[in-house]
């Protein structure tokens, strides 16, 4: 099995690979875990990834005050400053604090040169509380990466988790917005969510997550097209690589997913420092 994958890693080494879903963390408030950040970058480079999009979301449902999400974004900025050639930042906010969240998005884009917004499950993506944030992202021309899933077991563990139906509602209201449905392999009924978002070209999905069901990548390409899929790992680097290498799809589709060409222009924002 090891030889099977090693013999196929040229796909990663010989193509521009963008990882759209990874995270950094702190060892204590306001202090980046530099060891973890360095290891993440080292692993990514050894595996052929030349850019990683990182964020520091806070998972506490609904309660995440502005001072906490500002601090989280400062951690991301510190990681990007440490590895400016590899890392790009995504700004995390809690939409419940609308005024502060929009101000933080602007700070992250204009001062910290972040390239998008990362939302967790404080609110559904089609909740009206998000409308001003989505409109700000449209104005700034940045994508929104949103934690997502269609839980079949214990859905109350994440009561405001956005699924494909919620993304579809947001995409209908804001056709000019750029939505990334996170980790199609994050758990639950991924096939259900694929069907829901398929008609909406302004929704793409990243393939991260620890779920490695055999037909997942194949059905994602069939439902959305490779140009609407982004490579991501979300803490499961080996699973992320393996599920793509082992997928029964054309080689050109794999290259398309790895490059994320339609979203490449957003990365250029991070070059201006």
pLDDT band at 101; cut points 50, 70, 90: very high
> Which pLDDT value is given to residue 272?
56
What is the C-alpha to C-alpha distance for residues 3 and 25, in angstroms, rounded to an integer? 33
Q: What's 44's domain CATH number? A: 3.20.20.140
pLDDT digits (tens, 9 = 90+) for 213-225: 889 999 999 999 9
The bridge status of strand 17-23 relative to strand 49-55 is parallel
Length of the chain, in residues: 273
> Which pLDDT value is given to residue 59?
83
What is the C-alpha to C-alpha distance for residues 37 and 28, in angstroms, rounded to an integer? 14
Mean pLDDT, residues 219-240? 95
Q: Quick check: is 273 in a domain?
A: no
**What's the CA angle centered on 271, arms 268 and 273, to 5 degrees?**
140
> Which pLDDT value is given to residue 141?
97
Contact yes or no for 145/90 (Cβ under 8 A): yes
Mean pLDDT, residues 237-255? 94
Q: Quick check: is 218 in a domain?
A: yes
> Which pLDDT value is given to residue 154?
72
Please identify which residue in the block is written with the tokens 């803490």. 235
- First-to-last alpha carbon distance for the chain, in angstroms, is 43
pLDDT band at 159; cut points 50, 70, 90: confident
Q: Quick check: is 271 in a domain?
A: no
**Cβ density class 105-140: b for 16+ within 10 Å, e for less:** beebbeebbbbbbbbbbbbbbbbeebeebbebbeeb
Mean pLDDT, residues 95-100? 98
Q: In a 3-state reduction of DSSP, which class is residue 257? A: helix
99 contacts: CB under 8 Å, gap ≥ 6: none
> Which pLDDT value is given to residue 157?
75
pLDDT digits (tens, 9 = 90+) for 33-51: 999 999 999 999 999 999 9
pLDDT digits (tens, 9 = 90+) for 105-158: 999 999 999 999 999 999 999 999 999 999 999 999 999 999 998 877 677 778
Q: Quick check: is 272 in a domain?
A: no
What is the C-alpha to C-alpha distance for residues 46 and 197, in angstroms, rounded to an integer? 34
Lowest-confidence range among 189-193, 210-214, 225-229, 255-259? 210-214
Tokens of 143: 């994508």
Tokens of 9: 């890693």
Tokens of 34: 């530099």
pLDDT digits (tens, 9 = 90+) for 257-273: 999 998 989 988 766 55
Sheet with strand 144-146: strands edge to edge:
17-23, 49-55, 87-92, 116-119, 144-146, 179-181, 203-206, 229-230
What is the C-alpha to C-alpha distance for residues 105 and 100, in angstroms, rounded to an integer? 9
Q: Quick check: is 239 in a domain?
A: yes
pLDDT at 93 over 70: yes
- Please give the residue range of the domain that contains residue 8: 2-266
> Which pLDDT value is given to residue 38?
98
What is the C-alpha to C-alpha distance for residues 120 and 170, in angstroms, rounded to an integer? 15
> Which pLDDT value is given to residue 270?
67
pLDDT band at 2; cut points 50, 70, 90: low
pLDDT band at 3; cut points 50, 70, 90: low
Number of structural domains (the chain) is: 1
84 contacts: CB under 8 Å, gap ≥ 6: 273
Name the nearest CA neighbour of 56 among 79, 76, 77: 76
Q: Quick check: is 249 in a domain?
A: yes
What is the C-alpha to C-alpha distance for residues 115 and 102, in angstroms, rounded to an integer? 15
Average pLDDT, the chain: 93
> At residue 24, what are phi and psi to the nearest 5 degrees?
-120, 170
């Amino acid at each position: 099995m090891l030889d099977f994958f090693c013999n196929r890693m040229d796909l990663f080494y010989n193509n521009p690979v963008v990882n759209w879903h990874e995270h950094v963390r702190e060892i204590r408030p306001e202090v980046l875990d530099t060891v973890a950040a360095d290891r993440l970058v080292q692993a990514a480079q050894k595996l052929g990834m030349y850019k990683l999009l990182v964020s520091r979301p806070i998972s506490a449902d609904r309660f995440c005050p502005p001072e906490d999400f500002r601090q989280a974004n400062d951690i991301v900025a510190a990681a990007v400053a440490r590895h400016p050639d590899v890392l790009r930042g995504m700004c995390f906010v809690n939409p419940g604090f609308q005024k502060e969240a929009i101000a933080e998005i602007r700070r992250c884009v204009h001062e910290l040169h972040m390239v998008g917004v990362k939302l967790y499950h404080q609110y559904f993506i089609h909740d009206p509380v998000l409308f001003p944030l989505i409109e700000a992202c449209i104005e700034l021309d940045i994508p929104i990466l949103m934690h997502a899933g269609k839980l079949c077991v214990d859905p109350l563990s994440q009561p405001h988790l956005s699924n494909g139906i919620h993304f579809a509602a947001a995409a209908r209201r804001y056709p000019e917005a750029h939505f990334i449905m996170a980790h199609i392999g994050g758990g639950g009924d991924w096939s259900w969510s694929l069907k829901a978002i398929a008609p909406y070209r302004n929704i793409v999905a990243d393939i991260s997550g620890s779920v490695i069901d055999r037909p997942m990548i194949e059905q994602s390409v069939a439902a959305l097209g490779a140009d609407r899929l982004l490579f991501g790992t979300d803490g499961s680097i080996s699973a992320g690589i393996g599920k793509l290498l082992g997928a029964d799809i054309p080689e050109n589709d794999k290259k398309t997913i790895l490059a994320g060409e339609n979203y490449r222009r957003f990365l250029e924002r991070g070059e201006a420092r």
